[in-house]
A and B are shown apart, each in its own frame.
Chain A
Amino acid sequence: DGGITQSPKYLFRKEGQNVTLSCEQNLNHDAMYWYRQDPGQGLRLIYYSQIVNDFQKGDIAEGYSVSREKKESFPLTVTSAQKNPTAFYLCASSLSASSYNEQFFGPGTRLTVL
């Protein structure tokens, strides 16, 4: 089955620690995205990548970093510089960044920083 996987589903970390969230897709999609979701706020774009070895900042990139070394993988690192990292993180992919292509979302990772 084709799809997007995110791991882990729940993640607990101590304040000041970096943590990396995994996102893998086997849909052969070029574009991948990371969103942060807070209650009542909708989805806010952190980073996106239109092609391997290239990525751009979204609206709330501060305190986050990404890499895109392989087409199928787009890991997100939440650094200690992120002031309020507790949130639900969603990874998505689309065939391309064109407006005609819908985004497919992974099941999400709920990060709690203690």
Chain B
Amino acid sequence: QQPVQSPQAVILREGEDAVINCSSSKALYSVHWYRQKHGEAPVFLMILLKGGEQKGHEKISASFNEKKQQSSLYLTASQLSYSGTYFCGTRGGSQGNLIFGKGTKLSVKP
């Protein structure tokens, strides 16, 4: 089942913070986060696994609440380069397919 992302879109000024949420109606084993700029390939940001293990870019911060079946991506002191659409992908087990949300479009203005 497709995870739900919120908000659908957000506009920030440079230096402002944002939180993007990803919620599932099913139990989650892992959550993946990707960013896609218009017309380009999605780029990996972070993986969060059940049990607390994380893998990803040092400057990216995220959380995974297994009980609530939710993950949040924290973007602090935003830069113009943060603009793009952020996707979460979820898995219910250690194997299996990623199911992606519809995305959150982030626009950072000068």
The answer on a CB contact under 8 Å between A41 and B94 is: no
**Interface readout for B88-106 with A: 1 if CB under 8 Å, 0 if not?**
0101011111111111000
Question: What residues on A are CB-neighbors of B93 within 8 Å?
Answer: 99
- Where chain A touches its partner, the secondary structure class is loop
Within 8 Å of chain B (Cβ to Cβ): is A53? no
Of the residues B40, B55, B95, contact of A107 by C-beta under 8 Å = B40
- Where chain B touches its partner, the secondary structure class is loop
Q: Report if A102-B98 is in contact (Cβ < 8 Å); known contacts: A42-B87, A42-B103.
A: no
Query: Number of B interface residues, CB 8 Å?
Result: 29
Of the residues A42, A104, A107, contact of B2 by C-beta under 8 Å = A42
Q: Report if A99-B47 is in contact (Cβ < 8 Å); known contacts: A41-B102, A48-B97.
A: yes
List 12 other contacts, CB 8 Å, given A43-B100, A45-B97.
Answer: A40-B102, A42-B2, A42-B87, A45-B99, A90-B41, A97-B96, A99-B47, A100-B30, A102-B32, A102-B55, A107-B41, A108-B39
Complex Cα distance, B103 from A7, in Å, reads 25
Q: Would you list which residues of chain A between 56 and 89 have a CB under 8 Å from chain B?
A: 58-59
The answer on a CB contact under 8 Å between A42 and B100 is: yes
Within 8 Å of chain B (Cβ to Cβ): is A20? no
Q: Would you list which residues of chain A between 98 and 114 have a CB under 8 Å from chain B?
A: 98-100, 102-108
Question: What residues on A are CB-neighbors of B2 within 8 Å?
Answer: 42
Question: What residues on B are CB-neighbors of A44 within 8 Å?
Answer: 100
Chain B residues near A (Cβ < 8 Å): 2, 29-30, 32, 34, 39-44, 47, 49, 53, 55, 87, 89, 91, 93-103
Indicate the size class of the contact surface on chain A.
20 to 34
CB distance from A82 to the nearest CB of B (A): 20
CB distance from B87 to the nearest CB of A (A): 6
Of the residues A40, A41, A90, A100, contact of B42 by C-beta under 8 Å = A90
The answer on a CB contact under 8 Å between B98 and A45 is: yes
CB distance from B3 to the nearest CB of A (A): 9
The answer on a CB contact under 8 Å between A103 and B98 is: yes
